[in-house]
Every structure is written in C-alpha cells, then in structure tokens.
Amino acid sequence: MENEKKNDEFDIFRNTKDDISKAQSDSTDKQYNSKPIVLIIDDDQNIRDALMISLGKKYNLILCSNGWDGINRVSPQVYTVILDIKMEGKNGFDTFIEIKQKNEYVPIIFHSAYQDLKSPFEIINDFRPFGYVVKGESNKQLLTMIDSGIDYYNQINKNILLGKKLQIQEEQYRTLVNNLNVGVYRNTGGLKGSFLQANPALAKILGYETVDEFMKKSVSDFYLNQKDRETFV
C-alpha cells in the first residue's frame, strides 16, 4: 500500500515535470516563431557562420550557400534577403532577378566586397536593391538595414491585406446591389452626365435587356423635361 502511494506521488511529480518541460518548449517555439525570417545567401561558410552569431538571436535565419538554393527558399514568409554578389555558379545579380520574379516586394540587401566589375553606385542604379552593405563594415549598419527592410515588408503586407479587404467589400456591395428588386445607380454630374453603375433591376424597369445596354445611355436621356437637368445636376 505504501509502495503504491509512493508510485502515485512519483507519477504526479513526473507528469508535472513533463508539463513544465512542455510549457517551456512551447514558450520557446512561440518566441522562435515570432521572430521575422531573414534569408542569407552567401557561398562563404565563414560569412554565414559570422552572420548566424551576430543575427541569430534577433531573427530566424535561413542560410543558403548558393543562389539556386536561395531562390528555392524564398517564400512570402521571408521578410528580408541578405545576398552576396560574387558566388560560384549563380551569381548575386542573376539570383536577385529570379528572387524578384518570385516575390517582387521582398527587400534584398546586397552584402558584398565585390567591386571588381561594378561599383556600389552602378549596382544600386542597375538593380535598385533595398540596400547595399559592404562586407567588413560594422554590423550596426547591416542590422539597421535589415530592420528597415522588415518594417517595409510589414507595411507592404498590411497594404496588400487592406486591398484584399476592400476588394471583398466591393464585391459584396456589388452582389447586394445586383440582387435588389429596386433600381440603384450612380452617375457623374455635368452637362453630359453618364452612369457609373446601375443594377439589373433599374435596367429592367427602364426597358433594357442588359445593364451594359443601359449604361451606354446618358443621364439626360431619362429626363422628361430637359430643364429638369438643371435641377438634378
């Protein structure tokens, strides 16, 4: 009996430890997942290791050793790309172009010491990257540039989401108007006022088979007395 009691106490203790461990793990996962994702593309292992040490605490990092891998890892969840220029295989310029084809909005920061063929000024003019940071300069400049890129991408996403919401609201409004049994329209003013919108009910009331046919008419065509125009315009 006493042994059973001890076993029960041990099970409670063990389960409690497991719960605490799971909670800590969940907390760590949430903290990790809350950090923005930064994609680093550089064929120099030492550079990748150095960036992992200096940036790893603040961002979720995806490390790629070549342009092909970097292009494949680009997704809407990547907030900023740090891109080397002089790489074996696919260079940074070609990689830049293909990344932009996949996601035109993602900020790309050139991070390179490569100045043999093009100066930073030429690169910025030709490719319009979000930023250009020379390797070997202070990490503060790179961190500032990354933070700016993340803020920019966040704002882009908000604008896209807002645009989608407005589009949905507009579609809902049109559906509502088109299903009404009463005539609804919007028109411009002026001497030659035209219809901006009309629903099927209005077209039918005025004797037209389709809304498109009705929309070709001028607003003044429906005034019984042309002097009424002065009242309504």
| Cβ pair 85, 117 in contact under 8 A | no
Residue 222 CB: number of other CB atoms within 10 A?
Answer: 12
Neighbours of 214 (CB within 10 A): 21
pLDDT of residue 69: 96
Residue type, 38: V
153: Cα within 13 Å, side-chain hemisphere: 24
Beta bridge partners, 112, equal 134
> Facing residues of 60 across strands?
37
The hierarchical CATH code for the domain 35-161 is 3.40.50.2300
What's the pTM? 0.59
Q: How far apart are CA 81 and CA 127, in angstroms?
A: 14
CA dist list (Å): 142 to 83, 106, 146, 189: 12, 16, 6, 55
pLDDT attached to residue 108: 96
Digit-by-digit pLDDT tens for the chain (233 residues) are: 555 544 544 444 444 445 434 443 443 444 446 899 999 999 999 999 999 999 999 999 999 999 999 999 999 999 999 999 999 899 999 999 999 999 999 999 999 876 655 777 777 778 889 988 888 877 888 999 999 999 999 999 888 878 877 777 777 777 777 777 777 778 887 667 788 888 888 888 888 888 888 888 877 777 656 555 555 44
Domain boundaries, the chain: 35-161, 180-232
Contact indicator for 109, 82 with CB cutoff of 8 Å: yes
Q: What is the pLDDT of residue 75?
A: 94
Within 10 angstroms of residue 52's Cβ, the number of other Cβ atoms is: 13
The 10 Å CB-count burial string (b at 16+, else e) for 163-177 is eeeeeeeeeeeeeeb
Cβ(181)–Cβ(159) below 8 Å: no
